[in-house]
Amino acid sequence: MNEMKDWLGPIADELIPAHGEMPSATAAGVAGTQLEKVLAARPDLKRHLERAHALSADIPAEQVPDLLASLDPAAYNALAETVAGGYYINTEVRALLGYEGQVPARVRVQDYPDYIAEGLLERVVQRGPIYRSVQIDD
């Protein structure tokens, strides 16, 4: 795994370099702890990453994305998903982007229409569904 992390770091920085206050992929831990988190969530990516590593271990980092995209699209997609996923689950990156993660919508009482807030539909809800069967003749 350490060999894969060493291989992944420079390639990840090719895909996501530092820009402004945003860290590079390796600064965000993509080739370290974030890789472990991504593979724990998506173990199906591991075999594709291993194949990508085997195909490009001796290639300069700047050439790897194009090489994998042409030779093995599944390995390239796994590489891209791993790097992007690891980057965007980093808490510092999410804070810099102002992304709090997925949170449930907050419904305030004043958001309800008056007829619901005043309980005007309670009788209908308690009664339950009623309907008449209709037959349509052609």
List pLDDT tens digits, range 4-28.
Answer: 899 999 999 999 999 999 999 999 9
pLDDT tens for residues 26-65? Answer: 999 999 999 999 999 999 999 999 999 999 989 999 999 9
Q: Name the domain count of the chain.
A: 1
Among candidate residues 6, 7, 24, the one with its CA nearest the CA of residue 68: 7
Is the pTM here over 0.75, yes or no?
A: no
Residue at 36 is within a domain: yes
pLDDT tens for residues 76-110? Answer: 999 999 999 999 999 999 999 998 877 776 655 55
Structure tokens at 130: 């009623």
pLDDT tens for residues 113-132? Answer: 777 778 888 888 888 888 88
Residue at 108 is within a domain: no
Residue at 118 is within a domain: no
Q: Are 13 and 61 in contact (CB under 8 A)?
A: yes
Residue at 73 is within a domain: yes
For position 111, what pLDDT does the model report? 67
Residue at 80 is within a domain: yes
The Cα 81–Cα 90 span in angstroms is: 14
Q: Are 79 and 65 in contact (CB under 8 A)?
A: yes
What residue numbers bound the domain in which 17 lies? 2-97
Higher pLDDT, 82 or 134: 82
The Cα 138–Cα 132 span in angstroms is: 19
